[in-house]
């Protein structure tokens, strides 16, 4: 039965939410496998706007099982707030399950995220300051607090005392910050544990069984390929694996379960936070794309950096994710921009040309994008529902993009609504 993965192919905010919503409406099970509340997407359902950060988007469908896998880092304060908000609006969260292995974001992770970013000064990463990096650090340092611990008060109290004592030392003695009152943290987090206890279940087993029963599963990616800790623009990346392969380790399913991997890209490129962006437009066209496309972060509200479509990075994503198809969003945003450009390769400082994304920033430094130009368009394409209805210039843009990245474009977004999609 279909088990689809949806991943971002650029630096995030590709409009995965919309593609995920379309696929979630056809899925029995929706699974999140990595990241935390650094992600965010807006779902519009029956005119109601929902801003989700960690709760899988299938939550709006009454019978859909929503799962949060072992690879996720969960901030219980933020998460219980998200649950409360949904319930107050009549959305049941009974079908939501969290793996006992998922790591918990503790308040010192958030504090340390801010303190280490300040310490880096002008070399800061531009994180979302949600404690994501420090929580993953503790996971790999093997001193993390997990969902299982959260719902067992004795284990939780003991772990908060041992880990918290060390964190307080680091916060006060290294950074000169304020220590946490560990008894107050224990009290607060024990309460979150009580709220979340009914939601704990083995996500690996639930996913495996759903697959055996022939159910349709959708794995919703958060963040994106160029933010992957290994295959992104290190160190300007997040601390998890937003790649398709990350779904298997983050959920506890074997790779043979996966039947279809869909990559989502915008018809141009955006990035929030710091780090390299070869096709960035620091000009009036960049401003126009930002304003027309509403390019401001869902999680932090920061204005997004904007630029031309970069076939080098999406080609990289096609390869490292093993994409079956691409969904290209926001083609409508490129109307009335004039001549359009796609970066096809990079020219290195020594004059050689590469079609592959360099593995280190030092190698990317000084690379110049090589562009191909395309006739722009002025038509309103938001009502187009077939490829043939698109203006010829749009068709040419998509067909060449497809050729350049080496992947079929199966969906094209022509407006914000769930229905404003061309399926090919």
Name the residues annotated as catalytic.
13, 41
Neighbours of 32 (CB within 10 A): 30
When asked if residue 228 is in the footprint of ligand IMP (CB under 6 A), the reply is no
When asked if residue 273 is in the footprint of ligand IMP (CB under 6 A), the reply is yes
Q: Which residue has the tokens 């990350």?
A: 246
With CB under 6 A as the contact rule, which of the stretches 90-98, 153-161, 162-170, 231-239 interacts with ligand IMP? 231-239
> From the list 2, 126, 276, 416, which residue makes contact with ligand IMP (rule: CB under 6 A)?
126
- Comparing CB distances to ligand IMP, the nearer of 151 and 313 is 313
Name the H helices within 27-75: none
- Comparing CB distances to ligand IMP, the nearer of 57 and 223 is 223
Q: How many amino acids of this chain bind ligand IMP (CB under 6 A)?
A: 19
- Comparing CB distances to ligand IMP, the nearer of 12 and 369 is 12
Q: How far apart are CA 99 and CA 67, in angstroms?
A: 8
In the complex, least distance from residue 239 CB atom to ligand IMP, rounded to whole angstroms: 6
> From the list 54, 60, 264, 272, which residue makes contact with ligand IMP (rule: CB under 6 A)?
272
When asked if residue 223 is in the footprint of ligand IMP (CB under 6 A), the reply is yes
Q: Which of residues 163-222 bind ligand IMP (CB under 6 A)?
A: 222
Q: What is the torsional sign of CA 32, 34, 35, 41?
A: negative
When asked if residue 13 is in the footprint of ligand IMP (CB under 6 A), the reply is yes
Q: Which residues, other chains included, contact 187 with Cβ-Cβ below 8 Å and sequence gap of 6+?
A: none
> From the list 60, 105, 132, 343, which residue makes contact with ligand IMP (rule: CB under 6 A)?
132
Q: What is the torsional sign of CA 311, 313, 316, 317?
A: negative
- Comparing CB distances to ligand IMP, the nearer of 193 and 307 is 307
> From the list 116, 127, 163, 225, which residue makes contact with ligand IMP (rule: CB under 6 A)?
127
When asked if residue 114 is in the footprint of ligand IMP (CB under 6 A), the reply is no
Per the document, the length of the chain is 424
In sequence order, the β-bridge partners of residue 392 are: none
In the complex, least distance from residue 6 CB atom to ligand IMP, rounded to whole angstroms: 13
In the complex, least distance from residue 274 CB atom to ligand IMP, rounded to whole angstroms: 6
The CB-nearest residue to ligand IMP is: 273
In the complex, least distance from residue 157 CB atom to ligand IMP, rounded to whole angstroms: 28
When asked if residue 238 is in the footprint of ligand IMP (CB under 6 A), the reply is yes
Q: How far apart are CA 423 and CA 412, in angstroms?
A: 7
**Burial class of 169 by CB neighbour count within 10 A (0 to 12, 13 to 18, 19+):** exposed
When asked if residue 128 is in the footprint of ligand IMP (CB under 6 A), the reply is yes
Q: How far apart are CA 311 and CA 273, in angstroms?
A: 21
When asked if residue 421 is in the footprint of ligand IMP (CB under 6 A), the reply is no
Using DSSP's 3-state secondary structure scheme, residue 362 falls into helix
In the complex, least distance from residue 273 CB atom to ligand IMP, rounded to whole angstroms: 2
In the complex, least distance from residue 295 CB atom to ligand IMP, rounded to whole angstroms: 11
Which helix (H) or strand (E) element contains residue 161?
A: helix 153-169
When asked if residue 125 is in the footprint of ligand IMP (CB under 6 A), the reply is yes
Q: How far apart are CA 129 and CA 299, in angstroms?
A: 10
Question: Phi, psi (5° rounding) for residue 82?
Answer: -65, -40
When asked if residue 133 is in the footprint of ligand IMP (CB under 6 A), the reply is yes
Which helix (H) or strand (E) element contains residue 31?
A: strand 29-32
When asked if residue 130 is in the footprint of ligand IMP (CB under 6 A), the reply is yes
With CB under 6 A as the contact rule, which of the stretches 126-134, 258-266, 324-332, 349-357 interacts with ligand IMP? 126-134
When asked if residue 39 is in the footprint of ligand IMP (CB under 6 A), the reply is yes
- DSSP for 93-153 reads -TTEEE-TTPEEPPHHHHHHHHHHHHHHGGG-----SSSHHHHHHHHHHT---BHHHHT-H
Q: Which of 219, 175, 186 is nearest to 71 (CA)?
A: 219
Residues in contact with ligand IMP by the rule CB under 6 A: 12-13, 38-39, 125-128, 130, 132-133, 222-223, 227, 236, 238-239, 272-273
């Amino acid at each position: 039965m279909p088990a689809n993965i949806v991943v971002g192919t650029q630096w995030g905010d590709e409009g995965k939410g919309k593609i995920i919503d379309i696929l979630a409406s056809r899925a029995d099970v929706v699974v999140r496998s990595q990241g935390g509340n650094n992600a965010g997407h807006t779902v519009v359902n029956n005119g109601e706007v929902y801003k989700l950060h960690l709760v899988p988007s299938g939550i709006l469908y009454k019978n859909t099982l929503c799962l949060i896998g072992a690879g996720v880092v969960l901030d219980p304060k933020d998460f219980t707030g998200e649950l409360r908000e949904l319930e107050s609006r009549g959305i049941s969260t009974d079908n939501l399950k969290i793996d006992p292995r998922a790591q918990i974001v503790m308040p010192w992770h958030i504090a340390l995220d801010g303190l280490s970013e300040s310490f880096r000064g002008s070399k800061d990463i531009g994180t979302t300051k949600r404690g994501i990096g420090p929580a993953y650090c503790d996971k790999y340092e093997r001193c993390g607090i997990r969902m299982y611990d959260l719902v067992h008060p004795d284990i939780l109290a003991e772990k908060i005392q041992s880990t918290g004592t060390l964190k307080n030392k680091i916060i006060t003695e290294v950074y000169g910050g304020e220590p946490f009152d560990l008894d107050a943290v224990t009290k607060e987090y024990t309460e979150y544990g009580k709220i979340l206890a009914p939601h704990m279940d083995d996500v690996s087993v639930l996913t495996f069984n759903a697959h055996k029963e022939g159910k349709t599963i959708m794995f919703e990616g958060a963040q994106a390929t160029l933010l992957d800790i290994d295959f992104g623009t290190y160190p300007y990346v997040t601390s998890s694996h937003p790649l398709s392969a990350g779904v298997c380790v983050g959920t506890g399913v074997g790779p043979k379960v996966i039947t279809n991997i869909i990559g989502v890209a915008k018809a141009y490129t955006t990035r929030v936070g710091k780090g390299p962006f070869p096709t960035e437009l620091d000009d009036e066209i960049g401003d126009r794309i930002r304003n027309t496309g509403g390019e401001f972060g869902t999680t932090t509200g920061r204005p997004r950096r904007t630029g031309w479509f970069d076939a080098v990075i999406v080609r990289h994503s096609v390869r490292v994710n093993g994409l079956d198809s691409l969904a290209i969003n926001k083609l409508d945003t490129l109307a009335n921009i004039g001549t359009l450009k796609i970066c096809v390769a990079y020219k290195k400082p020594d004059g050689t040309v590469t079609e592959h994304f360099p593995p280190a920033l030092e190698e990317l430094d000084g690379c110049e994008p090589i562009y191909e130009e395309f006739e722009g368009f002025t038509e309103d394409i938001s009502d187009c529902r077939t490829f043939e209805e698109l203006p010829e210039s749009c068709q040419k843009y998509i067909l060449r993009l497809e050729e350049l990245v080496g992947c079929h474009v199966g969906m094209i977004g022509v407006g914000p609504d769930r229905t404003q999609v061309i399926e090919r």
